[in-house]
Amino acid sequence: MNPFRLSLIGLMVSAAVLSAARGADELVPASALRGRRLLFVVGSATPSEDNLVEAHLQSLGFAVTEARDSDPASRADGQDVVVVSSTVDPDVLQGKYRDVSVPLFTWSVYSYPYLAMTGPQLHRDFELIDPVHFAARTMTALYGYCESPVNPIMRAVGETRSQNFGTYYLLSTEVGWGRPSRGGTVVASIEGDDGEGAMFTYERGATMCGGVVAPARRVGFYLSSDNFHLLSQAYGPGQTDPRTRQWYVGLKLFDAGLRWAVSPPPQPPPYDPSALKARLRQAAAGKNVLFVGRKHAFEGAEADEHIVEHLRDLGCKVTFADQDDPDTLAEGRDLVIISATCSKYKLANRYTDVKVPFLGLDPLMADCFGFTGRVRYSEFGTHGEPGESIDPATATINIVGSWSTLAAGLPPGPVRMIRDPDIIGWGTPGRAAIVVADFPTSPDECPIYAYEKGATLANGRTNPARRAYFALDNPAYDTLTPQGHALFDACVLWCISPPGSN
Amino acid sequence: MNPSNLARLRSGLVRLVLVLPLASGLVALADPPGLHETARYSFAGSGASGALALDADGHRLYVARGPVVDVVDPDTGRTEGSATLPAAVRGLALAPGMGRAFATLADGTVATLNTAGLSVVRTIAAPGRGPSAVVYDADTRRVFVADSASGDLAVIDPTTGAIVADLPLGGRLAGMACDGFARLFVNARDLNVIHVVDTHRLSSLGDFPTAPGVGPTGMALEDSGRRLFVPCLNGVLIVVDNDVGAVFRVLKLAGRGAACVAFGLADEDHPIGEPPWKGRIVTVTRDGTVNVGRMLAFVNYAAHDHFTLDARPLGVAIDAPRQRAYILLAASPTLSQLVVLDPYVCPPAP
């Protein structure tokens, strides 16, 4: 066979593998919206562009049924998606659709707390910026920010990197935002605050505010009652220029958000440590892992040895490197693991630029790798470490990202990670991160999270390969519960799996 | 007296002179107050069809009514010249630098006139059956003729009369404008889009949707070439950012039916003769309702005032420096009338 044909076949196989791997977070095509049943919940607030929205929904192919805000939630039965307009009276609608297991898309900002999509505090958890009281802010909010180009919605609209875009046509108009829980995802933010979600989502199974678990996908969008026609969009010749195309994406985001809402959510395997280990063994066989620790560590050396043994038992080829060794050792590896036995100071920025998958275990190094911001004890730190934390030792973390395979199939809610209360690290990652767990009493402090390849790290850089963070203090590996072990294995498996796969 | 007050006084005097004929009962008083006719001139002859064009300095008004094109002094309404064409005029455009005018005719031809002597230079057959809107593009020095029947856009070399190209754009074409940046915009009334054409390459660049406007009819262009004003059959005037095709303002129109529209950049508070900034959009619907929209800022427009005329409009033109709008009316099958009004006047304080 000639070399050209061989390489062509290779390319096709790669594309097929990538496509299969990406399947989990791809959106249904626009054509798949045709005939889908959509319940459009409206109220009587004026001015209103509900008629324009409804016409647009119909033009997308939806079979639209209108409901009033006073109607019962049973109207959602049999629907493929519920869309709630901001013309509803939030106090009439209340939390009716909070628990419906139908995807929901809304721009009723004042309904966010009722729907558990944000906390309850106006201006802190959610806000509708209006041009009467906040004219300057509405102009600022014309500039949205794409938090992560690997977000499936942003990918669908063609954003190729984290960058500004135009939310509306350039007029002072109402803009809504909500601050989702760490279980949610900020797709687009405004005003330079990455938590101010102009558009945000919850995956099915994600933990929303107040511990409510999303029964189906949820989308919050920045629209208001009378400015649908201002959603940015370029037509005709404007579509030929990539910069113009990537700037005027307001209407595309609206459409892509709907497509995401009705797309099949990921279905991670249920919690089964032995099945997980079997999958990991299959994926890890022959993988070349660099384990970076501190030789002759006073504390944690034994745990490091056990991690290495575990990886070898899974079939990995593990090389142990000292913290002082050059980070060029990472080149060509399938995975680099940085142990918490390493000294942040002595590691001296090694491995910050590695372009291979990466698993970090030391909470206090989170800033070095762009996992978090740079403010120690505020953006990263530990619980239960004398002299380092005012928080008591703990053994329990709170699963908020059960939809991700990183959660090892564990259900949402508290889970005992280590046998007895001890030190557990945490970080507050950027909004492009997948947050697997927080603490039951500290929802912004996350002991397990990850960044997809291509996602924007907290330091603004583009993540060159999958990176996960698993808070494991030096000797803590040996105290992991079965659930803790499963979470560790899930992190390793995710890191060595193809980017885009769940 | 400061220049601003002087300008207001001059403006007031002009209005006074123009309104004097009101006393003789020649014209009806405006309703509601504020926006009103300041003069009306009558022309005997066919009033069923026609078009209107104003020359660049506002000194000559070309009034087409049936097959006749008159040159009219807009200050007095006096006819200074006349030409009779082979068929009724449907569209009229001037090429100021060339001393030419171009008219689309009901018999499917396009006539070229010498504006100096108002003589017919030539007529050519248009490629389509229904040539309607016509514009002259000073940038490319070409004439563009939209065909409302075939959906074709004919491109004519005005010096030779040769048809350079015939672009099948599609739809019932109605209303057209050139922005001077190599782009031509053409309404497709039945497709609810504005076709965008590259006037240099003579190729289609795509379409702008007119939604929420349905049935775009007329078209006017803001002076900088970055805003289109398009009245639509569903009773709205859409304001389009033609950099990206975004409809960002929708003004409700009083009145019904297809409309003609004109834009003039000026400000009632601005001294006459100085560079203006804000402007007015004058839209006249088929039932004779005159709508005046106001440009408050480059991104901000509002419906301003309206009143009703007693006949169907055939065309509208604005002389912004002199703060006048001219509306040609089909008063009867044998009578055309030219109405003059000041669209820049503010409505009375409530």
Contact yes or no for A248 and B246 at CB 8 A: yes
* CA–CA distance, A389 with B15 (Å, rounded to integer): 81
The helix/strand/coil state of B148 is coil
Does residue A406 contact residue A450 with C-beta atoms inside 8 Å? yes
Is the predicted pLDDT of residue B29 greater than 70, yes or no?
A: no
| Length in residues, chain B | 350
**CA-CA distance, A182 to A437, in Å (whole number)?**
8
Question: Which amino acid is located at B267 in the chain?
Answer: D
Which residues, at least 6 apart from B158, have a Cβ–Cβ distance to it below 8 Å?
B95, B98, B100, B102, B112, B136, B141, B142, B143
SS3 A438: strand
Task: Report the Cα–Cα distance between both ends of chain A, in Å, rounded.
Answer: 36
CA distance B323 to B271: 11
Comparing CA positions, the residue from A259, A239, A278 lying closest to residue A152 is: A259
- In percent, the amount of chain B with pLDDT more than 70 equals 86
Closest chain A residue to B205, measured at CA: A237
ω into residue B158 within 30 of 0, thus cis?
Answer: no
Cα separation, A356 vs A467, in Å, equals 9
Q: Which residue of A has its CA nearest to B185?
A: A236
Q: What is the pLDDT of residue A285?
A: 97
Task: Please judge whether A233 and B244 are an interchain contact, meaning their C-beta atoms are less than 8 angstroms apart.
Answer: yes
Amino acid in the structure at residue B164:
V
B269: confidence class by pLDDT, cuts 50, 70, 90: low
Question: Which residues in chain B have their CB less than 8 angstroms from residue A238's CB?
Answer: 243-245
Q: Which of B246, B329, B332, B254 is nearest to B293 (CA)?
A: B254
Cβ–Cβ contact A243 with B under 8 A = no
Could you tell me if B241 lies within 8 Å of chain A, comparing CB atoms? Answer: yes
What part of B 289-348 touches A (C-beta under 8 Å)?
299-300
Peptide bond into B350 cis (omega under 30): no
Phi-psi region at B175: left, alpha or beta (left = phi > 0; alpha = psi -120 to 50)? left
Cβ <8 Å between B245 and A230: no
Give the residue from A45, A46, A79, A52 showing the smallest Cα distance to A65. Answer: A79
Spatial strand order in the sheet of A467-470: A317-322, A288-293, A335-338, A358-360, A467-470, A448-451, A434-438, A396-399, A413-416
Q: Looking at beta carbons, which residues of chain A come within 8 Å of B248? A: 169, 171, 229-230
DSSP A54-70: HHHHHHTT-EEEEEETT
To the nearest whole Å, the CA of A346 is away from the closest chain B CA by 54
What kind and span of H or E run contains A52?
A: helix A50-59
Phi/psi region, residue B277 (left: phi>0; alpha: psi -120 to 50; beta: rest), is alpha
C-alpha–C-alpha distance, residues B318 and B290, integer Å: 13
For the stretch A263-300, what's the b/e string if a residue is b when 16 or more beta carbons lie within 10 angstroms of its beta carbon?
bebbebeebebeebbebbeebbeebebbbbbbeebeeb
- CB contact set of A243 (below 8 Å; sequence gap of 6+): none
**Residue B270: its pLDDT value, please?**
59
Reply yes or no on whether the pLDDT at B14 is more than 50. Answer: no
Strand order in the sheet with B109-114: B89-95, B100-105, B109-114, B119-125
Average pLDDT over residues B6-15: 39
Taking CB atoms and an 8 Å limit, are B244 and A234 in contact across chains? yes
Residues in Cβ contact with A406 at an 8 Å cutoff, skipping those fewer than 6 apart:
A434, A436, A448, A450, A468, A487, A490, A491, A494
Tokens of B36: 């009103």
Q: Are B131 and B108 in contact (CB under 8 A)?
A: yes
- Which of the pair, A144 or B276, is modelled with greater confidence? A144
| ω into B168 cis (within 30 of 0) | no
Q: How far apart are CA A480 and CA A109, in angstroms?
A: 41
pLDDT at B291 over 70: yes
Give me A351's structure tokens.
Answer: 């491995």
Please tell me if residue A135 touches chain B, with a CB cutoff of 8 Å: no
Q: Which of A52, A229, A234 sits opposite B245 (nearest CB)?
A: A234
Q: Within chain A, how many helices (H) and strands (E) appear?
A: 11, 22
Would the CB atoms of B207 and A235 count as touching at under 8 Å? yes
> Between chains, do A171 and B250 touch, taking CB under 8 Å as contact?
no
Inform me whether the C-beta atom of residue B185 falls under 8 Å from chain A C-beta atoms.
no
Tell the burial category of A22 from Cβ atoms under 10 Å away from its Cβ (0-12, 13-18, 19+): middle
Least Cα distance to B220 among B103, B52, B336, B338 occurs for B52
Q: Report yes or no: A247 and A142 within 8 Å, Cβ to Cβ.
A: no
What is the average pLDDT across B320-331?
A: 92
Among residues A136, A94, A106, A117, the alpha carbon closest in space to that of A39 is found at: A106
Kindly tell me the number of DSSP H helices and DSSP E strands found in chain B.
1, 28
Place of tokens 């350079």: B164
The predicted model scores a pTM of 0.86
Q: Evaluate if residue B21 carries a pLDDT over 50.
A: no
State the nearest Cα–Cα gap between B205 and chain A, in angstroms: 5
CA angle B199, B203, B205 (to 5 degrees): 95
pLDDT 10s digits, B202-215:
999 999 999 999 99
> How many CB atoms are located within 10 Å of the residue B25 CB?
7
Judged by a CB distance cut-off of 8 A, whether residue A244 touches chain B is yes
pLDDT at B156 over 80: yes
- State the smallest CA–CA distance between residue B155 and chain A in angstroms: 20
**What are residue A152's phi and psi, to 5 degrees?**
-60, -30
Please tell me which of the candidates A52, A233, A237 has its beta carbon nearest to residue B196.
Answer: A237
Gap between the Cα atoms of A353 and A462, Å rounded: 10
Q: Which residues of B touch A170 (CB under 8 A)?
A: 299
Whole-angstrom CA distances from A417 to A165, A236, A422, A471 are 41, 55, 10, 10
Number of C-alpha atoms within 13 angstroms, CB side, residue B67?
Answer: 9
Per-residue pLDDT of chain A (502 residues; tens, 9 = 90+): 444 444 444 444 443 333 333 344 689 999 999 999 999 999 999 999 999 999 999 999 999 999 999 999 999 999 999 999 999 999 999 999 999 999 999 999 999 999 999 999 999 999 999 999 999 999 999 999 999 999 999 999 999 889 999 999 989 999 999 999 999 999 999 999 999 999 999 999 999 999 999 999 999 999 999 999 999 999 999 888 999 999 999 999 999 999 999 999 999 999 999 999 999 999 999 999 999 999 988 788 999 999 999 999 999 999 999 999 999 999 999 999 999 999 999 999 999 999 999 999 998 999 999 999 999 999 999 999 888 888 999 999 999 999 999 999 999 999 999 999 999 999 999 999 999 999 999 999 999 999 999 999 999 999 999 999 998 888 899 999 999 999 999 999 999 999 988 7
A171 neighbourhood in chain B, CB within 8 Å:
248, 299-300
Q: What is the 3-state secondary structure (H, E, C) of B2-33?
A: CHHHHHHHHHHHHHHHHHHHHHHCCCCCCCCC
A146 vs B269, which has greater pLDDT? A146
| β-pair partners for B326 | B317, B340
**In this predicted structure, what is the pLDDT of residue B12?**
40
Contact B103/A at CB under 8 A: no
A52/B212 Cβ within 8 A: yes
Rounded distance between C-alpha atoms, residue A479 and residue A484, angstroms: 9
Query: Of the spans A4-8, B43-47, B272-276, which averages the highest pLDDT?
Result: B43-47
**Is any Cβ of chain A less than 8 angstroms from the Cβ of B205?**
yes
How many C-beta atoms surround the C-beta of residue A10 within 10 A?
10
- By mean pLDDT, which of A311-315, B129-133, B163-167 is the weakest? B129-133
Q: Determine the 3-state secondary structure of A16 from DSSP.
A: helix
Q: In 10 A of CB A327, how many CB atoms?
A: 18
The shortest C-alpha distance from A60 to chain B (Å) reads 15
CB contacts, 8 Å: A234 with chain B = 244-246
Beta strands in B13-108 (DSSP E): 37-44, 50-54, 61-65, 68-72, 79-84, 89-95, 100-105
Question: Which of the residues B244, B250, B300 would you substitute to probe the A interface, choosing the one with the greatest number of A C-beta atoms within 10 Å?
Answer: B244
Q: Are A229 and B247 a contacting pair at CB < 8 A?
A: yes
Backbone φ, ψ for residue A145 (5° rounding): -130, 125
> A237 and B205 in contact by Cβ < 8 A?
yes
